[in-house]
Amino acid sequence: MSFEDVTRWVRAARRIVLLSGAGMSAESGVPTFRDAQTGLWAKFRPEDLATEDAFRRDPAMVWDWYAMRREMVAKVAPNAGHGAVAAFQQRHPGRLTVVTQNVDGLHQRARSPGVLALHGNIAEDKWLEPPRACCEVARLRPDRPPSCPTCGNLRRPAVVWFGEMLPEAELAAAQDAAAACDLMLVVGTSGVVYPAAGLARSTRGKVVVLNPVPTDLDDAADAVLRGTAATLLPALLED
């Protein structure tokens, strides 16, 4: 199928899901998971830091690693692909749902509404343990990581670590959107991380993969467009 065919599908679709992965943010300069292993962090494997066990063993070390990654993400901006998606959503309220595997928050910063962030947001924190009443009212102790001064409960990055389940509400909403859509645009994802990749295989709508290189979801696609998000999406979503 050609680019023109996909453009017609976009215009005809009543409900669209855009599933984005790391490639969506690569053009903004967001470092990959492993690109963050530089300098003092080069001796660590990211898989050894992004776990609850690692955090419980050495909360300060893991907190500092995420602080470094947050600084890296804060220096970049949404690219033309993020902007095209947000602009389309503003012109067509309720017609396109963004489901992302990315934790960088760039879709949200581009002002896409209702982003379903399956792996969380690196800029946000949450409690390590279920919060007690004291956690909600006390001023946080400014440690690394911050903690409740009464019970000692720790704040942790609000991302999905290895071994953790995806957030139930976001995953359920993403599955509902995938089941109901006429068209799914799979942008910048290798298609190897589940359950996110399973959304493209479960939808009854047409599937279009947008990626500069082959992916594991190409075989499930009705069309494959070779190119980057910042190049393809502004033209594809223009109307």
Residues 26-30 have a mean pLDDT of 90
pLDDT > 70 fraction of the chain, expressed in percent and rounded: 95
Q: Which of 82, 92, 107, 119 is catalytic?
A: 119
Annotated active-site residue 107? The verdict is no
Query: Where in the chain do CATH 3.30.1600.10 domains reside?
Result: 31-75+122-159
Overall average pLDDT of the 11-30 stretch:
94
Residue 121, φ and ψ in degrees, nearest 5: -140, 120
Among the ranges given (155-164, 174-183, 190-199), the one the predictor scored with the smallest mean pLDDT: 190-199
**Biggest distance spanned by C-alpha atoms of the chain:** 61
User: What are 104-134's pLDDT values in tens digits?
Assistant: 999 999 999 999 999 999 999 999 999 999 9
CATH 3.40.50.1220, the chain: domain bounds: 1-29+77-119+166-239
Give the pLDDT confidence score for residue 39 in this predicted structure.
58
pLDDT given at position 116: 98
- In whole angstroms, what is the distance from residue 185 CA to residue 47 CA? 29
Using the Cα atoms of residue 13, residue 182, residue 232 and residue 3 in order, give the sign of their dihedral.
Answer: negative
Report the DSSP beta bridge partners of residue 17.
Answer: 97, 184
Average pLDDT of the chain, as a whole number: 93
Mean pLDDT of 180-185: 97
> For the domain with range 1-29+77-119+166-239, which CATH number is right: 3.30.930.10, 3.40.50.1220, 3.20.20.140, 2.40.50.140?
3.40.50.1220
- What is the rounded CA–CA span in Å between residue 51 and residue 57? 10
239 — pLDDT class (breaks 50, 70, 90): confident
The string of pLDDT tens digits covering residues 133-177 is 999 988 999 999 999 999 999 999 999 999 999 999 999 999 999
**Topology of domain 31-75+122-159, CATH:** SIR2/SIRT2 'Small Domain' (3.30.1600)
> pLDDT-based confidence at 42, cuts 50/70/90?
low
Give 94's pLDDT tier (boundaries 50, 70, 90).
very high
Closest by alpha carbon to 224, among 214, 235, 209?
Answer: 209
